[in-house]
Amino acid sequence: MVLFPREGESWRTRFYRAGINVYPSYRGSGGRVTYIARDWLEVRMELPLGWRTRNNQGTIFGGSIYSAIDPFYALMVAMNLGREYVVWDKAATIRYRRPGDAKLYGHFVLDREEIEGIRHEMQNRRSTDRVYTVRLVNREGDVKAIIEKTVYVGWREGSPRAAVQPSERTLVSEKEAG
């Protein structure tokens, strides 16, 4: 185990990395976070082929593949937008390209323009959806699975921007009454 944060990590992201790795639902996936950038715009993880992740065919179980990548894009967006926003995973699609017959690696990347684009779009909206793609590859770079995650971003309840416009409130009341 590395005592000091890796280059680009902060003590805070190292603490988060350790917390994610011991969190029961993530630990159960068999995945392991190996890096979180200090600005939360990059995360790296690995998923070994072992007794906890092996299926009856001797390859990595599809559920382990998905659960090992599940939280990261929503977490990265949430950490960059701040507490005024609520961020949820909305949907996912996974395409298995080849059996996971060795340790797999995932590399999640966002850029500052994406975060600013979400903020800009949310100036006049109550919510938005974003789609992100991650590829799980082996050591040689062969793609074993491609996962698309749809992430929902909205205003957190109680946020000044979350207030419903009076005309929208009237429409909702009429539909509920009717």
pLDDT of 165 higher than 90: no
CATH code of the domain covering residue 129: 3.10.129.10
- Structural domain harbouring 62: 11-177
Predicted TM-score (pTM) of the model is: 0.85
Is the residue at 4 inside a domain?
no
Is the residue at 2 inside a domain?
no
Report how many domains make up the chain.
1
User: Mean of the pLDDT values across residues 10-34?
Assistant: 94
- Tokens, residue 91: 């949907």
36 closest CA partner among 83, 74, 72: 72
Q: Which residues contact 130 (CB under 8 A, 6 or more apart)?
A: 77, 114, 118, 150, 151, 153
Helix (H, G, I), strand (E, B) or coil at 11: helix
- Tokens, residue 159: 């946020």
Is the residue at 21 inside a domain?
yes
Is the residue at 172 inside a domain?
yes
pLDDT of 107 higher than 50: yes
Is the residue at 6 inside a domain?
no
Is the residue at 143 inside a domain?
yes
**What is the number of alpha carbons within 13 Å of residue 143 lying toward its C-beta?**
10
pLDDT of 169 higher than 90: no
Q: Note whether 109 and 41 are within 8 A (CB).
A: yes
Is the residue at 34 inside a domain?
yes
Q: What is the CA 52 to chain-centroid distance, rounded? A: 22
Write the pLDDT tens digit of every residue in 111-151.
999 999 999 999 999 999 999 999 999 999 999 999 999 99
Helix (H, G, I), strand (E, B) or coil at 77: helix
Write the pLDDT tens digit of every residue in 36-94.
999 999 999 999 999 999 999 999 999 999 999 999 999 999 999 999 999 999 999 99
Is the residue at 97 inside a domain?
yes
Rg of the chain on CA atoms, in Å: 19
Write the pLDDT tens digit of every residue in 57-68.
999 999 999 999
